[in-house]
A = this chain, B = another copy of it.
Amino acid sequence: MAAADLSVLTATEVAAKIADSAVSSEEVTAACLDRIAATEEAVGAFAHLDPDQALAQARECDTWRRSGRPIGPLHGVPIAVKDIIDTADYPTECGSKFLSGRRPRADATVVSRLRAAGAVIVGKTVTTEFAYFHPGKTRNPRDLERTPGGSSSGSAAAVAAGMVPATIGTQTNGSIIRPAAFCGVFAMKPSHGLVSRTGVLPLSRSLDHVGPFARSVADIALMLDVMAGYDAEDLDTRPVAARNFRQIAAEEFGLAPRFAFVKTPVWNKADADAREAFEGLAEELGEDCFVYDLPERYASAWDAQRAIMAVEMAHNLGKLADEGGDKISGKFCDLVAEGRQVSATRYLAALAEARSLRGSLEELFQQECTAILTPAAPGVAPEGLASTGNPVFSSLWSLTGLPAVTLPLLAGDNGMPIGVQIVGAVGDDARLLRTANWLVERLRD
């Protein structure tokens, strides 16, 4: 299999070819490594990569498969993991010089689940420092002079550059949806509590989410089937019956889904061509889409998200800021200082606001729409690498814990991708993926 072929195959296709013995995991992994070798210098998606270690895992997968034993849904598929997610075989340095050389003794729960499903963990992808704003080395594969977005910069760029079919990343504000949109790939921030965060650098228990990046909606569903599940150690996960995301996502709709086009109170932060692209999209959807103006009280959600994030990051990571000296960025120290200024009652009020807004959105889904349609970011990836761009179009969904998917369906005037974000009710992740499929099909017609 040539590296060029591999770069367009989805994880679903790769898994099927391996299962059918059309290709070995070693061949696929070697093709990935070839592609990485060809593009990594320009893109810089990886924080840690050991080709021998990746190939050894792939060969183990092949031995297992040849034994005739049952295989998991990701058997032999190369996956890369954001470097704030613990892995026992690779360092996990969280984008921080201060944690240089840190090597966890155990895999994060979500990594264990990927391995149990047969995935080959090829390496660790670049994150901004502690998944906050100070950028890493990664460039946007669609235009190397532009930011890939962050904080899951490497996870988005690796998929966009054809290095691996799928990756995982994390979002506390806009760190999955924004880089996926900037790099033009599919990605999902699942419902809060759907995917375990055990073994993932804790920024903010109330806001942290783990989610997949991939090349199709089917791939996102496949990844979620493996990643989702109860973990007694993550107190926000729940022991509920498993869903089959792939199956539900692939089902036909009886009635067409109905979209609420939500501009949000930060619509004025969107670029002119993004605004135009979304107005055009809404028009194209016609009667399947209506404009919904969020009530006034949503305007304070952004401050609430900020307060919760600053407080919980100061609580979880303040010690690193205190002890790290010049190995910690000024931006990060400022955030910790900001978090320490917030009163406990302000913090609890922000959490209560989040619950209340979530409840009010719940009613919107029950009564008015199948999904919310909204920008994934203010526009295309901005030029330059000093900033990873603005998470403002993700904050509300991170705050309320609603599942969000970004689809690379639009483009700016310069041809750079613009992500279409669709958002569903909490817990309704499977149907949101079905809606995503419908939208992709509808716009393909």
Instruction: Assess whether A331 is interfacial by the CB under 8 Å rule.
Output: no
The residue on B at minimum CB distance from A347 is B344
Q: How many chain A residues touch B (Cβ–Cβ < 8 Å)?
A: 19
* Partner of A339 from B312, B314, B342, B344 at Cβ < 8 Å: B344
Q: Of all chain B residues, which has the CB nearest A313?
A: B345
Chain B residues lying within 8 Å of A352, measured Cβ to Cβ, are 315
CB <8 Å contact, A343 and B340? yes
Contacting pair B315 A348 (CB below 8 A): yes
A68 CB–B CB distance under 8 Å: no
Is A239 part of the binding interface, using a Cβ–Cβ cutoff of 8 Å?
yes
Complex alpha-carbon distance, A342 and B311, angstroms? 13
CB contact between A345 and one of B239, B339, B345 (< 8 Å): that residue:
B339
Main secondary structure of the interface of A (DSSP, over half): helix
A339-B346 Cα distance, complex, nearest whole Å: 11
A69 to chain B, nearest CB (A): 34
Which of B307, B314, B339, B348 is A311 in contact with, Cβ under 8 Å?
B348
User: In the complex, A318→B348 CA distance in Å?
Assistant: 12
- Point out the residues of chain B lying under 8 angstroms from A345, CB to CB: 311, 314-315, 318, 339-340, 342
What sequence of 0s and 1s flags, for each residue 302-331 of chain A, a beta carbon within 8 Å of any chain B beta carbon?
A: 000001000110110010000000000000
User: Nearest chain-B residue to A349 (Cβ)?
Assistant: B315
A238 and chain B: residue at smallest CB distance: B239
Q: Which residues of B contact A346 (CB under 8 A)?
A: 344
A312-B311 Cα distance, complex, nearest whole Å: 16
Residues of B within 8 Å of A340, CB to CB, are 343, 345
Q: How far apart sit A312 and B344, CA to CA, in the bound complex (Å)?
A: 8
Q: Give A35 Cβ to nearest chain B Cβ, in Å.
A: 44
A348: which B residues are within 8 A, CB to CB?
311-312, 315
CB distance from A266 to the nearest CB of B (A): 25
Starting from the known contacts A314-B344, A342-B344, A344-B347, 16 additional A-B residue pairs (CB-CB under 8 Å) come to A239-B239, A311-B344, A311-B348, A312-B348, A314-B345, A315-B344, A315-B345, A315-B348, A315-B349, A339-B345, A340-B343, A342-B343, A342-B345, A343-B344, A344-B346, A347-B347
Closest 5 pairs (CB-CB, A-B): A344-B347, A311-B344, A315-B348, A342-B344, A344-B344
